Structure 1
Amino acid sequence: MADLLTDAEFNQFRKIIYDASGITFSETNRSILDSRLKERLREKNIEKVQDYYALITSDQGEFKTFLDSITTNLTRFFRNQPHFDALINYVIPHLIEEKKATGDRKIRIWSAGCSTGEEPYTIAMLLKDKLPAPYTFEIIASDISLKSLMVGQQGFYADSRIAGIPQNYLATYFNKGEGGYQVKPDLMKTIRFDYHNLRNDSGSRNLDIVFCRNVLIYFDEAAQKATIDRFWASMAKHSYLFIGHSESLFGMDTKFEFLKTQWACLYEKKE
């Protein structure tokens, strides 16, 4: 098995990761990169780090698998409840009020960096329950991890993963199966899971709401700014952005306005 990464190899790998995804590895999280790299070397039965580097630069499929392996997919249903309180009590009423004038009856949402799907399914349950007729919604859920997207698409969550879901929602939107719960088809069809690298333009436009929580912390300032600018381009003239509670756009040259509601803080696009 290969030795630990040399400084030169560490710089080589973190550059290709950054160029492809915007994810930044520093000395403080170097050990994570090292351990994930070891796993891939074992999996592919490769001894030398440079041989694996040659593989990921020539095999796009393996490179995607490698990027998948280095991302942290920590999530849960109803994570950071105040954000969802602000969504239901502030954002949705304001959007509905505006849409009355335009005749547009659909609310478009992007869950960026959705991991294994708990966030988009949480949003979908809330909107199914709270959104008044005749309004409808659609959710795009994207991630750089194909493995995580597969979990979201399948919509099956082990018993240990459903903590936080209110009992009435569990009964309404899930079927109990062996060892876990399956999201019902009616809820599943409101979400489209899609592979997307935030380094690139998603192609989406006129989105009313974007959730991108606990993703920007993995980017440096330049990658954060580029990502936020791409969000701006994808969003409707009046729309809302949710980022992680430990993240901030403070000090960033952005056109988003800070918005403090009685439930949570978020950002607003007003043109």
Structure 2
Amino acid sequence: MSDFLSDNDFDGFRQYIYSESGIHFSKTNRSILESRLKERLRNNDSQTPGDYLNLLKSNKEETRLFLDAITTNLTRFFRNQAHYDTLIQHVIPQLIKYKTAKGDKRIRSWNAGCSSGEEPYTNAMVFKEHLPPGWEIEITASDLSLKSLMTAKEGVYPETRMSSVPEFYQKKYFEPVEQGFKVKDSLKELITFDYHNLKFETGLKDLDIVFCRNVLIYFDEAAQKNVIDHFWKAMSGYAYLFIGHSESLFGMETDFQFVKTDWACIYGKSTGDAAL
């Protein structure tokens, strides 16, 4: 047992984190929670973890800061190239065909758990390059971390974060600045960044594409089902869902169809291209 965090306190924080966010903190992540707690205690007048837990229960703003501190924000541009091959070679052509027949030339997508913005900016670049002229692009990008959202909105990345961006995209959609590279306004204007807790519905409707990669792994089965149901409600009658390559909806009671392409496996809503 830790001298800093008792078993009872640890269980108390686990329960509070779950009730507020749906995130499941396992015992194997106890050391991560302890280190984040020590940081927050130094920034408050709380003397013990128990005191700080009582503060959280009475202070929603501190709860936001705490959830920000304990979430993991690992991302990069063009992460998992197989997903982007699938987006370019399969999903975009299918959506163009379906939506053109309906006289609709707008793509609406949501990056849920967007971290510091690399994923939605990648999607925006891909849409710009592979949608026909005249199509509208609307991207919503959300996260639980306010710190990450501030970075995303600023759109400035050090050179070390740019290694996965192909030279063509870098020259066309970024401009060099003292701190590294800045996303051009023509790309920024396509994206709305917003704070959102995936435990709750977002209010978005008629989405064509949802990206929620490497997020579900932090939820238990009940919370995962809740999130997936929210996605279903937010998506149009013909849409695609991207989750992490190590994540799966197998065994979950859902109407999403498993879609196997030549590049990666994703999920569809009434798309008619489910794996047989």
After TM superposition, the score normalised by the length of structure 1 is 0.97
Query: Structure 1 residue 43: deviation in Å?
Result: 2.0
Q: Does 1:6 align with 2:11?
A: no
CA distance, structure 2, for counterparts of residue 174 and residue 109 of structure 1: 22
**Match in the other structure for 1:102:** 102
How much is the aligned-residue C-alpha RMSD, in angstroms? 1.1
TM-fit CA distance, 1:101: 1.7
The 5 Å alignment of 1:236-255 reads: 236-255=236-255
The answer for the alignment partner of 1:35 in structure 2 is 35
Partner of 2:205: 205
Would you identify which runs of 4 or more consecutive aligned residues in structure 1 move more than 6 Å?
none
Q: How far apart are residue 123 of structure 1 and its match?
A: 0.3
Secondary structure (helix, strand or coil) at the match of 2:18 reads helix
Structure 2 CA distance, aligned partners of 1:158 and 1:3?
A: 39
Q: Offset at 1:85?
A: 0.8
Cα displacement (A) at 1:57: 1.1
SS at match of 2:186: helix
The residue matched to 1:107 in structure 2 has which SS? strand
Once the two structures are superposed, the pairs formed by residues 252-263 of structure 1 within 5 Å of their partners are 252-263=252-263
Partner Cα distance (1:219, 1:152) in 2: 24
Q: Match for 2:20: what amino acid?
A: A
The one-character-per-residue Cα deviations of 1:147-197 (angstroms, maximum 9, x if unpaired) are: 000000000001111110001111110110113101000100000000000
SS in 2 for 1:19: helix
SS of the counterpart of 1:222?
helix
CA distance in 2: counterparts of 1:66 and 1:151, whole angstroms: 18
Following the alignment from structure 1 to structure 2, what is the Cα–Cα distance between the partners of residues 73 and 25? 16
Shift of 1:71: 0.2
Task: Give the distance between the partners of 2:87 and 2:136, measured in 1 at CA.
Answer: 15
In structure 1, the partner of 2:55 is: 55
Q: Which residue of 1 aligns with 2:25?
A: 25
Partner of 1:83: 83
Counterpart CA distance in 2 for 1:63 and 1:121 is: 28
Structure 2 match to 1:183:
183
Structure 1 unmatched ranges of 5 or more: none
Aligned mates of 1:159, 1:179 — CA distance in 2: 8
Q: Tell me which residue corresponds to 2:159.
A: 159
Instruction: Supply the distance in 2 between the matched residues of 1:135 and 1:164 (Cα, whole angstroms).
Output: 27
CA distance in 2: counterparts of 1:213 and 1:206, whole angstroms:
20
- Is the partner of 2:225 in helix, strand or coil? helix
How far does the alpha carbon of each residue in 1:41-98 deviate from its partner, in whole angstroms, 9 at most, with x for none? 1122432112211211111111100000000000000000110110111001101111
* Structure 1 match to 2:119: 119
The Cα offsets for residues 250-270 of structure 1, whole Å up to 9 and x where unpaired, read as 111110000000011100001
**AA aligned opposite 1:205:** K
* Alpha-carbon contact 2:92-2:130 (below 8 Å) kept: no
Alignment match, 2:228: 228
SS of the equivalent of 1:115 reads: coil
Note the C-alpha offset of 1:3.
4.0
Residues in 1 aligned to 2:3 and 2:48: alpha-carbon distance in whole angstroms: 8
In 1, distance between residues paired with 2:139 and 2:239? 15
Question: Are 1:217 and 2:254 counterparts?
Answer: no
**What amino acid is the match of 1:4?**
F
After TM superposition, the structure 1 stretch with the greater mean CA deviation from structure 2, 54-63 or 41-50, is 41-50
> 1-side partners of 2:38 and 2:235: how far apart?
40
1:141 aligns with 2:168: no
Calculate percent identity across the aligned residue pairs: 58
The separation in 1 between residues aligned to 2:159 and 2:58, in whole angstroms, is: 40
Listed one character per residue, the Cα deviations across residues 92-117 of structure 1 (whole Å, up to 9, x for unaligned) are 11011111121111000000000000
